[in-house]
Structure 1
């Protein structure tokens, strides 16, 4: 549904531009057929008026004025015809006599423009170039939408609809393998010292020589008779 609404407007604009190009080509073919037919009859200008078209693009405004003439002529069969034509010369006013040309048997396609009118050719060429650029822009927008914008929108919609998943952890790189330590071979413990089976042979068996063997027989008699410094008791 979104694609329909997005592409409808540029599609209609491109169709209008193509229709304008077809109208310009058909008009030029009819003018050439009238100029080459060789049928020329006198005519008269009945009315002259101008229309002004204003175009606005943001703050820029431009306007163009187009002259319209209403002509009257009598065909070869005696029938009276009137027609309106845009883009005629500004020197032709009401009441002026003009030469009218039309293809054989088609007085409804009459024109008062002179053969090979330069302004008509230039105006038609400019119109065709503008409409070609306009149509190309509309078609380019549709192609851009279908090839670029729409795939991006579909991917974004898929991302939104997908359930959320936590980001997977980065694989852990195992540390490089280290060589296993070499277990030293067991060393035999030194032999325990042998304990003595009994007391040593040279252990003393009595008191040492000179050690007193009896109690003293009295108290000492050589006590001091005074204190140091000459103080007597």
Structure 2
């Protein structure tokens, strides 16, 4: 019997809104919107686009950025419950995000998730503008410029041994969804799954995911 393992996106999935978009709307000059459109339209790689977005922001804004998200970001309903659910059933739960460490770690701090269960992009505030670093970039089998490469991380959990479950909402989750056994999708990821005939289950809250996992009889 395969061991279930969950790979859950952060921005727009664990949080109700995409925190990168929220930060750009609040702090970036107007040219950020064209960059965002190019990312979603797959005209540039995620890595190129995210690098360009954060190069628009001064490193002097670091604490303002963190404080703003801590005050405004909302955690999706049922997140604490799915952590309890997976913990009780010995289902490994990994946060795998195209977001950035400087805001992901503070926002997840109340949930006591081990650092080795969080994969995301890094940040360097030593220059004039923010530089994004890529500790989880694509392996030799991926050439999509993912930034935080979700398929590369998933390949550490071989398909013949693991039932791989992806929860996500956007373009950063698409390549992971292609190789998942079960996909829970919302928002833009639903559009892409339908476009590419990838089977998925829609969700609004993590309670929906818990209910479906119970119905499927998924347990560790």
Name the one with the larger helix percent.
2
Q: TM-score, normalization: structure 1?
A: 0.20
Structure number with greater Rg is 1
- Greater relative CO, 1 or 2 (CA 8 Å, sep 6+): 2
